[in-house]
Each structure stands twice: as structure tokens, then as C-alpha cells.
Amino acid sequence: MTRSPSPISRFVPMLCGLMLSSWACGGGGPSVTGTGAVADKGEATAGLTPREDLGRRLFFDESLSDPPGQSCASCHDPKVAFADPVKSLPVSRGAVPGRYGNRNDLTAAYAAFVPPLHKDPEEDIWVGGLFWDGRANTLAEQAMGPPLNPLEMAARDREVVLTRLRALDYAAMFNDVFGPDALSNAERAFQHMADAIEAFVNFGCIATGILQILALNFHETIGCRYLGWLRTVSSTVPSEEVVTH
């Protein structure tokens, strides 16, 4: 059986390409202008598998909350390393006005590297797990929490989520990725939603997080190319943002 390449193995050549192309052009590279036009746009979008692309759409979709208006990205903004962009509050806002979470959201940029909750035999301490208390062992398990949390996206139950998933203009992608019965019932659809978001976080968030560090610390041109790639992945970088060489 042929195994698909891991997110990390696909990310490495992409990173090398960014670095080599920036060095080869002597510090050049595509500028990100007010129009958002980027020369490498086709190559960037080609880096996502269908499952990851479905996860990307779900991650930024504000129609899944109740009331609509909050997405995963609302509290895990790619412009701030997939963390909560609101720094003036100790906790994160919910979809329902006046409701706030009981904790601030963690960055999702490196969540794929976090191991399951376990006790380290050498350090004799508990490590790993997602959420602040480590209660989720996978990104898919974590992705199931916020949609039904009344202090976050606040959907009443999985049937409500199913109704909203079926109404999406890209709902057919579920059948393309998971098969013709992908949205046949609430439990199955909810799991598929979480699996797709996990796939995007595994690749998209890791890649953009690491590229952001490189962009800020090593080479300005990589920064320009990072912003171009980020635009194609997230569509949330402000169009008025201008990066020059």
C-alpha cells in the first residue's frame, strides 16, 4: 500500500524552494502589493491536498458558529502565529456577544508536534496533550471542542453543525474527500469536519509558523514569499499590507 507523504516531508522541499529562489534572485522575489497579487500563487495553492484544502476552508469559515461570525481563525489568527489576535483580554471572546471563554486560546502553529498526554519517566512530570489541560490527544479531537462549546462557537449540537455543513457552497468537497456518505449523518459529518481541520493544521499551520520565524529572523525576501504563500492559504492577510524589498 502506498503511503501519502507526511506534512513535514512535503514542507521541507517547499521551504528549500523558497530559500533557493530568494538567494538565486539576489534578494528579489515577488512583492506583495495592495492588490494581493503574488507571482507564486499557483505553486502555493498546489501545496495542499484536497483534505487539507477542505480543512483550510472550514478553518476560516464563520458560518459554522451560532450566531455566525466566528471561525477557528478568529482565535487562531495566521497573522499572529495562529494565536488569539486580541491581546487586551486574558480570555478569548465567544460567538455570542458578552460570552468569553474561561481560558485564552493557545497558538495552533505547533500543535502537530505536541505528543499525547503522558508522564515522562525521566522527568517524572506529565507532558503533552492539547488544550491547556492536555485533555485532547489529537488535533481532530481538539477540533471537536470549540464548535459545541457555548463559550466559543456555540452550536447547540452536532445536528446543527451538520445542517450548516450541508449548506456550505463547498459541501461537495466532503464527498470528494471522504466518500458519498460523508454528510449522511451528524456523527460522521462532525468527525470528517474535525479530520479535515486536523489535516490543515498539520500542514498549513506548521508551514506558516516556521516560515514566519524564518521570515522575521533570516531573510527579508523569504518574508515576502511567506506573505504571498500565506495569502493563498488563509485569505486573511489584509490587502492593504505592503511589503517591499
Supply the pLDDT for residue 118.
92
Residue 115 falls inside a structural domain: yes
Residue 239 falls inside a structural domain: no
Return the closest-CA partner of residue 243 out of 223, 213, 229. 223
Return the closest-CA partner of residue 230 out of 70, 18, 64, 50. 18
DSSP 192-214: HHHHHHHHHIIIIIHHHHHHHHH
User: Are 64 and 155 a contacting pair, CB within 8 Å?
Assistant: yes
Q: Is the dihedral of CA 81, 85, 87, 89 positive or negative?
A: negative
Return the closest-CA partner of residue 205 out of 16, 7, 4. 7
Return the closest-CA partner of residue 243 out of 33, 41, 44, 38. 33
Supply the pLDDT for residue 25.
36
Cell (9 digits) for 122: 525521566
Supply the pLDDT for residue 75.
92
Supply the pLDDT for residue 104.
84
Q: List the CATH number of the domain containing 186.
A: 1.10.760.10
Residue 241 falls inside a structural domain: no
The series of mean pLDDT values per 10 residues for the chain, 245 residues long, is 52 50 36 28 56 93 96 88 87 94 83 87 91 88 95 96 97 97 97 95 69 60 59 52 37
Residue 244 falls inside a structural domain: no
- Cα-trace Rg, the chain: 19
- What total number of domains does the chain contain? 1
Domain around 14: 7-26+33-234
- Count the Cβ atoms, other than its own, within 10 Å of residue 196: 27
Buried b (16+ CB within 10 A) or exposed e, 50-63: ebbbbbbbbbbbee
